[in-house]
Amino acid sequence: MDMLTLSQADTRRLEKLAQATGRTPRSVLKHVMRDGFEATEHSVHAVTSRMQTNQRITHNAAMQQLDQMIQTHGRMYDQRRKYPE
């Protein structure tokens, strides 16, 4: 298995995300590897902001947001994936 090396700045970003989520840096790294720093930071910020303000959204609103994310990020995935004819 290849060894992953993070820059000092990325290590600090990972530690801040871990602290914000109450998890270990290692457990947060899975999400960063899958989604990238920006998307993970955005998600953590959105969730913590809503928790602090007691702001809640309906199930339908959550589904609309998910659909939008899938449309945006799914295009990138579809371009890489080959579907059988």
What is the C-alpha to C-alpha distance for residues 31 and 67, in angstroms, rounded to an integer?
Answer: 20
Task: Report the pLDDT value the prediction gives residue 2, as an integer from 0 to 100.
Answer: 53
Contact between 28 and 17 (Cβ < 8 Å): yes
Token couple for 57: 């959204």
| pLDDT tens, position by position, 27-66 | 999 999 999 999 999 999 988 887 788 777 788 888 898 8
Residue 80 confidence class, pLDDT cut points 50, 70, 90: low
Token couple for 21: 């989520």
0.85 exceeded by the pTM? no
Q: What angle do CA 19, 42, 54 make, to 5 degrees?
A: 75
Domain regions of the chain by residue span: 8-80
Query: Which amino acid is it at 35?
Result: D
